[in-house]
Amino acid sequence: MPTLPTYFRTILNSYSMLFFSQHRGLGGLLLLVSFAHPLVGMAGLASTMLAVAGARLGGFNREWTDRGAYSFNSLLTGLALASFYAPGTALAGLVLVGAGVALLLSVALGGWLSGRGLPALSLPFVATVWLLMLGSAPLLHLLPAEANIYWLNEAYALGGPRLVNLMQWVGEWPWPPLLATYLRALGSVLFQDNALAGLLVAAGLLWHSRIAFSLSVLGFLGAYGVLLLAGPAGSGPLEYNLGANYIVAAVAVGGVFVIPSVASYGWALLSVPVTVVALAGITAVLSKLGLPALSLPYCATALLFLYVLLLRERPGAGLVLTPVQRYSPERNLYAYATDRVRLAHQGTVAFTLPFLGSWRCTQGYASGGPTHLGAWGQALDFAIADADGRTYHGTGLALSDYYAYNKPVLAPADGVVEEVVQHIEDNNIGEVNTRDNWGNTVVLRHAPGLYSQLSHLRAHSVPVKPGDYVRRGDVLGTCGSSGRSPEPHLHFQVQATPYVGSRTLAYPLAYFMAVPATEAGTAAESVRQGIAEAAELSGGFRQAYSSAGWAPEPVWAAVGPGEGGTDGFPQLPPVPRLHHFDVPRQNETVSPPTFNRTLSQALRFPPGYALNVRNPDTPDAPAQRWEVFTDAYNLTYLRCQTTGAVAYFAGDESVFYFTAFYGSEASWLYLFYQAAYRIPLVSLPGQTTHDTFPLSIIRNPALSWAQDVLAPFYRFLKPHFRLEWAGGAEAAWPGRPVRLRSRVTVGYFGRERTEQTAELTFRDGLLTELRVKQAAREVYLTCSIAGA
Amino acid sequence: MKLPYERPTIRKLTAGALNKFGPRAGATPTTALDGVRVEELVARFGSPLFVLSERQLRRSYQAAVRAFGTRYPQVQLAWSYKTNYLNAVCRTFHQEGAWAEVVSGMELEKALLNGVPGPHILFNGPGKRRADLERACAVAAVIHLDNADELHLLLDVAASRPAPPRVALRVNLDAGSYPQWDRFGFNLENGEAWQALSRVVASGRLELVGLHCHIGTYVLQPSAYATAAAQLAALALRCQRKLKTTVQYLDLGGGFPSTNTLKGAYLPATDTVPSLDEYAEAITGALLAAGFRTGELPLLVLEAGRALVDDAGSLIGTVLATKRLADGRRATILDFGVNLLFTSFWYDHHISPARQFSDQTEPTVLYGPLCMNIDMLRESIALPLLSAGDQVVVHKVGAYNMSQWQQFINLRPNVVLIDQTSQVHLVRAAETLEYLQQLEQVPVHLQS
């Protein structure tokens, strides 16, 4: 059934695609503007419909088809042909052929260029029009169109004298010449030569994207400036119908295929003189053949500017090619800005702590410690310490007095045993064996060029041998005190080479719980939060998402203060916090997290898993079905079968998080996306998990438009996600319902406004309830597993 | 300086076996507890006086968590309420993260009042009444089934519950220790346990979440725990395989000894009792080798009581009198007896003087103040030459004494807790006659 609506949606998409958009408002406006010359508009619409139908029947890439990527060249061809030639059956036939050729060329050129990571742009249109112009001349005797000249006649036929008056009034409006030229240039994208058409297009462009609009102005003014330097302004190439080349090139280079930024705006500006030269050169060559330059100069410039970026060996942080095209410069930018931090570690090998229980990091990365120096600095030492900071009980003169001694040492990740040394005797306490510096050691290979080394193991404690395949958590031996080890401790490092004692590689651990060294003060806490916040700026891997909260509430809330005579809990045991992709710091007490089985099971979402979602307030309404799929890149997403909305998600054993959302923001799936943006799969009563949303979630139009304009340079809005446990400690029980409360806020200039609060209930390994409260509405949803 | 006066003593000269460490030089005095002077404590709170060390409570708990937690991925301690009823003690452990193990309706309420969420309460014990079971179901505590009658009673109770109550099965088995404790739970070897498990699962009215086994108390063989753990794990795997029910936790009970010396032991317990690490090694080793799939290891629950609290309690007492018995032995009468130090029935408690004495000691019998022949604390102990008014400190009395103490002949004294900053808090005030008589009612005809 949804065939017909998608068909018309695709047609609108084809129109908005002229400005690299999927904005239906813009598409509608462009469609309207194209009908300023009804015949031209009809030719454009007809060839679009043909191309869309052809692409669908032809079985070409459905995604591209639906976006209009195969049909916008046909649209341009139809518009161009109808603008150039007088109406008649001959023109109709030509449009038909043109639509077909443009479609074929779109598919062919698109396929060829996409293999090189480049877009086909409007090259198929240019080629088709040339072909038809050259080819039709000997075959058909087409008269040049007069509509462009006597366009008032058409307007009269269409809307009577009133429309003529309106159009005359607009046409004679004393536009500043520069503005008029800009608007006519924009209008010329649809082969229109009047300011009103341009005004509508500009409005549509602004509606679609503030960044694209600002780039269009930048491109136009840049061209104006260049031509001003070159000679008398307003002459030659700044003619309205060619001015579009600067504008579209600037938008493409500065905002669509490159993430908008200060650098991309500079890059767009830089493209202008190139387009000027290309335009002049191409026009000069083509005029000898009697062919128009059309949009070729823009295509040439844009492809040149993109291809060189693509060929960089060391892409900088300034000019970033859009990783995933979201057809909106704003969305591209906002997604990139958050993903750069949030998804920085996708694809890395997930290392975990190589032991059980709580250990203290006795020497961290390059902490100036006694032994982790220079190229060997990115290593970690662990020992077990009690609350007094001692690593032993009794006198500490025997190995067995040490808590760490003989405790199991685990594989930090799946891998193959590369090397085993286990013949070196453990030292007496206080002695070091500098001859066999590393002592008993296991080296694991996790990936080509990625090894981990565990050292100072107890003599003859290693149950594995080289070549064995080990899984994360398998026992590799026990902690000892061999090698350069005055007391039992574990040395852990990641390295790029398979040898014992290779130089170290800084590599984060996927997840661990940590209690900071100085538990007492909130000072340490604020420092950590500061680090987490500064991370976006610094870009190192320290950013992580420490689930650092504000003041932790006592787990045992019922154990009231005052019992001990002092207020509060001066000696409350410290609450460990969950860290993701972080490195333990010196003196932190770290432990592996204990996963909450209810959450782990409910949010595992294997492909094929489906949920039926209902609103119990309207029991008669059919359930929406959310199903899990994987895409060609093996990325998993939830798709709402009713609305077509798609939410990409990712995660590991310790966390579930959404990575992207596409589709209607009115859908229930969007509520879930916002409510469950990040959920640690660990029982963390009393703790708050934080995350950052892309700016595209902002609903307030005034704020978001203001932000959009400034976004490439400065982002003042801070959309924030918080999640905390609503239920008590019993939720940690396997099989008990888990209730989580999340909040979406937008912070700006020191203020914070709540956009949405939600409560999620998980029961029996399933998301069962979702309550969402926004300013205007409240939604209550229940979920159940969809039957096979 | 004038030396303090000590009364004369006459001792039989015994050559004894030669000792390469030389003769013992007197008893080491305990002048302060956690930085607070004994004299000061007595002056403020009187004598006798129970003193609890919050620091030691936490250290013991952390040591137990460390011993098991660094060897096994999921470990949970459940504080055995009956070991010490004082709320200050219970809450200290709960703050550290302990669940509660209770054995009666009263203890269940006590745990709830201490803020323990229902699902974190394990309800053990052989004597649960209907009302107790109903209450446990209402707060979602886990009921550890002890016998078939209880199972049937619970099935009856469960019929009117909206959600199936969560239960664990108490299992007794031959772990190789003697005597075998077979009075708690269902026997494994004769098939009773399996029958009960099948009944629980087949009923559909109960949710089986755990298996429990308490092999005894003061068990000195870690290997017995290894055997018990292995058998319990095998039973859990059988449940998974045959009953399609995943057992979420294995509860190995408690019974870990403290370093108090049992009466009649030849060597002091500090030399003979295995460390908690050895028990941890045995239990976790057995569980890790039991054949669970990685990531599906059940939670290990331990109902430690004695091992957590014994070391943290001390009892300060005062010498009331010394006398010589008919056979010439010295007898010392203290102001506390078996009424307060119930555990002296089992242990030869370590008792130190509270001030410095000369190196001279004499063997003495320690009596309490009760007018009962059983009131003997130590049959023979070498103590310095104590006189009336001297204080002594009994060590490691945290377990059972503050729950099994008797209001008999004397009232119960103050209990104080010394926190980690050496602040002293009164956590249970000395009883008064008024308190004692509060519940009494005198019939009218006896009132005149």
- Rg of chain A over Cα atoms, rounded to whole angstroms, equals 32
Q: Out of B71, B140, B417, whose CB is closest to A407?
A: B71
Beta partners for residue A767, in sequence order? A762
Position A694 scores a pLDDT of: 87
Contacts of B420 in chain A (CB under 8 A): 571
**Residue A659, by phi and psi: left (phi above 0), alpha (psi -120 to 50) or beta?**
alpha
Q: Which residue of chain B is at minimal alpha-carbon distance from A354?
A: B70
3-state secondary structure of A454: strand
Which tops the pLDDT comparison, A529 or A296? A296
- Torsion angle, CA of A605/A606/A608/A610, rounded to 10 degrees? -20
Q: Which of A361, A460, A478, A328 is nearest to A409 (CA)?
A: A478
Q: For an interface test with B, give the residue of A733, A738, A763, A764 to mutate (most B CBs within 10 A).
A: A733
The answer, yes or no, to whether residue A189 has pLDDT greater than 50, is: yes
Contacts of B59 in chain A (CB under 8 A): 386-388
Contacts of A131 (CB under 8 A, 6+ apart): A101
Range B311-322 average pLDDT:
96
Position A550 scores a pLDDT of: 34
The two three-digit tokens of residue A288, written as one number: 């000898």
Position B271 scores a pLDDT of: 86
> Mean pLDDT score of chain A, rounded to an integer?
83
Q: Which CATH architecture has domain A1-150?
A: Orthogonal Bundle (1.10)
Position A519 scores a pLDDT of: 47
Q: Out of A356, A563, A733, whose CB is closest to B73?
A: A356
Alpha-carbon distance A96 to B397, whole Å? Answer: 100
Provide the shortest C-alpha distance from residue A356 to chain B (in Å): 5
Range B345-371 average pLDDT:
91
Using the beta-carbon criterion (under 8 Å), do A573 and B95 form an inter-chain contact? yes
Using the beta-carbon criterion (under 8 Å), do B117 and A729 form an inter-chain contact? yes
pLDDT band at B20 (very low <50, low <70, confident <90, very high): low
Position A197 scores a pLDDT of: 84
Ordered DSSP codes for B37-101: EHHHHHHHH-SSEEEEEHHHHHHHHHHHHHHHHTTSS-EEEEEEGGG---HHHHHHHHHHT-EEE
The answer, yes or no, to whether residue A45 has pLDDT greater than 90, is: yes
Q: Which of A259, A174, A271 is nearest to A219 (CA)?
A: A271
Q: Which of B196, B142, B194 is nearest to B164 (CA)?
A: B142
Position B19 scores a pLDDT of: 66
In 3-state terms chain B splits into helix, strand, coil percentages (rounded to 5) of: 30, 25, 45
Contacts of B19 (CB under 8 A, 6+ apart): none
Q: Which of A318, A337, A320, A237 is nearest to A280 (CA)?
A: A237
Position A179 scores a pLDDT of: 85
Range with the lowest mean pLDDT among A21-25, B26-30, B60-64? Answer: B26-30
Query: Which tens digits make up the pLDDT trace of A593-608?
Result: 988 888 888 998 999 9
CB count, 10 Å around CB of A659? Answer: 22
Beta partners for residue A513, in sequence order? A578, A591
Maximum Cα–Cα distance for chain A, whole Å?
107
Check residue B390 and report its DSSP letter.
-
Say what the ipTM of the complex is. Answer: 0.86
Helices of type H across A292-328 = 296-310
The answer, yes or no, to whether residue A147 has pLDDT greater than 80, is: no
Stated pTM of the model: 0.80
Contacts of A652 in chain B (CB under 8 A): none
The answer, yes or no, to whether residue A307 has pLDDT greater than 60, is: yes
Encode A85-127 in three state secondary structure: ECCCHHHHHHHHHHHHHHHHHHHHHHHHHHCCCCCCCCHHHHH
Position B315 scores a pLDDT of: 97
Alpha-carbon distance B218 to B204, whole Å? Answer: 37
Provide the shortest C-alpha distance from residue A573 to chain B (in Å): 6
| Amino acid letter, residue A267 | W
CB of B270 within 8 Å of a chain A CB? The answer is no
CB of B110 within 8 Å of a chain A CB? The answer is no
Alpha-carbon distance A440 to A489, whole Å? Answer: 12
Q: How many Cα atoms occupy the beta-carbon half-sphere of B114 within 13 Å?
A: 28
Helices of type H across B239-373 = 269-272, 276-288, 306-309
Q: Out of B97, B140, B248, whose CB is closest to A573?
A: B97
Q: Which residue of chain B is at minimal alpha-carbon distance from A728?
A: B117
Range with the lowest mean pLDDT among A154-163, A458-467, B177-186? Answer: A154-163
Q: Out of A386, A730, A735, whose CB is closest to B62?
A: A386
The answer, yes or no, to whether residue A565 has pLDDT greater than 70, is: no
Alpha-carbon distance B143 to B133, whole Å? Answer: 8
Using the beta-carbon criterion (under 8 Å), do A566 and B66 form an inter-chain contact? no
Range with the lowest mean pLDDT among A185-194, A609-618, B163-172, B325-334? Answer: A185-194
Provide the shortest C-alpha distance from residue B434 to chain A (in Å): 25
Using the beta-carbon criterion (under 8 Å), do A730 and B421 form an inter-chain contact? no
The two three-digit tokens of residue B67, written as one number: 């011993």
Using the beta-carbon criterion (under 8 Å), do A357 and B94 form an inter-chain contact? no
* Range list for CATH 2.40.37.10 in chain B: 32-52+311-431
Query: Which tens digits make up the pLDDT trace of A50-74?
Result: 999 999 999 898 888 988 999 999 9
The answer, yes or no, to whether residue A560 has pLDDT greater than 50, is: no
Burial degree of A665 (CB within 10 A; 0-12, 13-18, 19+): middle
Only one residue has tokens 């459940």, namely B78
Q: Between the ranges A27-36, A727-736, B40-49, where is the mean pLDDT highest?
A: B40-49
Alpha-carbon distance B130 to A772, whole Å? Answer: 42
Q: Out of B69, B74, B119, whose CB is closest to A733?
A: B119
Q: Out of A384, A565, A735, whose CB is closest to B66?
A: A384
Range B77-102 average pLDDT:
95
Query: Which tens digits make up the pLDDT trace of B98-151?
Result: 999 999 999 999 999 999 988 899 999 999 999 999 999 999 999 999 999 999
Query: Which tens digits make up the pLDDT trace of A631-688?
Result: 888 889 999 998 889 999 998 888 999 998 988 888 899 999 999 999 999 888 778 8
Range A231-238 average pLDDT:
52
Contacts of B421 in chain A (CB under 8 A): 570-571
Q: Out of B58, B74, B94, whose CB is closest to A387?
A: B58
* Range list for CATH 2.70.70.10 in chain A: 359-552+572-591
CB count, 10 Å around CB of A507? Answer: 20
CATH superfamily of domain region A359-552+572-591: Glucose Permease (Domain IIA) (2.70.70.10)
Q: Which residue of chain B is at minimal alpha-carbon distance from A592?
A: B73
Do residues A336 and A259 lie in contact, with contact meaning Cβ atoms separated by under 8 Å?
yes
Only one residue has tokens 């550890």, namely B144
Using the beta-carbon criterion (under 8 Å), do B420 and A571 form an inter-chain contact? yes
Query: Which tens digits make up the pLDDT trace of A261-295?
Result: 999 999 999 999 999 888 888 888 988 888 888 88
> How many contacts does A have with B, using Cβ atoms within 8 A?
102
Using the beta-carbon criterion (under 8 Å), do B95 and A359 form an inter-chain contact? no
Position A438 scores a pLDDT of: 93
Do residues B220 and B273 lie in contact, with contact meaning Cβ atoms separated by under 8 Å?
yes
Query: Which tens digits make up the pLDDT trace of B180-194?
Result: 888 889 999 999 999
pLDDT band at A314 (very low <50, low <70, confident <90, very high): confident
Alpha-carbon distance B54 to A772, whole Å? Answer: 45
Query: Which tens digits make up the pLDDT trace of A605-645?
Result: 999 999 999 888 887 888 899 999 998 888 899 999 988 89
Using the beta-carbon criterion (under 8 Å), do A559 and B73 form an inter-chain contact? no
Alpha-carbon distance A750 to B266, whole Å? Answer: 73
Query: What share of chain A in percent tops pLDDT 70?
Result: 85
Beta partners for residue B424, in sequence order? B418
Q: Which of B297, B202, B299 is nearest to B242 (CA)?
A: B202
Helices of type H across A194-353 = 195-208, 210-230, 240-251, 262-289, 296-310, 329-342
Whether the link from the prior residue into A734 is cis, omega within 30° of 0, is no
Burial degree of A679 (CB within 10 A; 0-12, 13-18, 19+): buried
Alpha-carbon distance A24 to A28, whole Å? Answer: 6
3-state secondary structure of A751: strand
Do residues B370 and B339 lie in contact, with contact meaning Cβ atoms separated by under 8 Å?
yes
CATH number of the domain at B54-310, please?
3.20.20.10
What fold is seen in the domain B32-52+311-431?
Lyase, Ornithine Decarboxylase; Chain A, domain 1 (2.40.37)
The answer, yes or no, to whether residue A531 has pLDDT greater than 90, is: no
Contacts of A205 (CB under 8 A, 6+ apart): A19, A26, A186, A212, A213, A216
CB of B305 within 8 Å of a chain A CB? The answer is no
Phi, psi of A196, deg, nearest 5: -65, -45
Using the beta-carbon criterion (under 8 Å), do B95 and A557 form an inter-chain contact? no
Report the length, in residues, of chain B.
448
* Range list for CATH 3.20.20.10 in chain B: 54-310
The answer, yes or no, to whether residue A1 has pLDDT greater than 70, is: no
Q: For an interface test with A, give the residue of B54, B60, B91, B95 to mutate (most A CBs within 10 A).
A: B95
Provide the shortest C-alpha distance from residue B96 to chain A (in Å): 6
Alpha-carbon distance B376 to B396, whole Å? Answer: 18
The answer, yes or no, to whether residue B37 has pLDDT greater than 90, is: yes
3-state secondary structure of B437: helix
Rounded alpha-carbon distances, angstroms, from residue A368 to A364, A372, A383, A650: 9, 7, 18, 37
Interface of B with A in 276-295 (CB under 8 A): 288, 294-295
Contacts of B381 (CB under 8 A, 6+ apart): B348, B351, B363, B364, B366
Contacts of B87 in chain A (CB under 8 A): 563
The two three-digit tokens of residue A744, written as one number: 């979406």
Do residues B361 and B382 lie in contact, with contact meaning Cβ atoms separated by under 8 Å?
yes
Using the beta-carbon criterion (under 8 Å), do A728 and B117 form an inter-chain contact? yes
The answer, yes or no, to whether residue B14 has pLDDT greater than 80, is: no
Q: Out of A386, A471, A735, whose CB is closest to B59?
A: A386
Q: Which residue of chain A is at minimal alpha-carbon distance from B426?
A: A564
Burial degree of B335 (CB within 10 A; 0-12, 13-18, 19+): buried
Contacts of A404 in chain B (CB under 8 A): 70
The two three-digit tokens of residue A756, written as one number: 């949405």
Report the length, in residues, of chain A.
788
Q: For an interface test with A, give the residue of B58, B59, B70, B311 to mutate (most A CBs within 10 A).
A: B70
Query: Which tens digits make up the pLDDT trace of A335-382?
Result: 888 888 888 887 788 999 999 999 999 998 876 667 888 888 899 999
The two three-digit tokens of residue A128, written as one number: 């088709």
Q: Which of A478, A657, A520, A674 is nearest to A578 (CA)?
A: A657
Contacts of A382 in chain B (CB under 8 A): none
Do residues B260 and B396 lie in contact, with contact meaning Cβ atoms separated by under 8 Å?
yes
Interface of B with A in 327-386 (CB under 8 A): none
pLDDT band at A556 (very low <50, low <70, confident <90, very high): very low
The two three-digit tokens of residue A48, written as one number: 């679009």
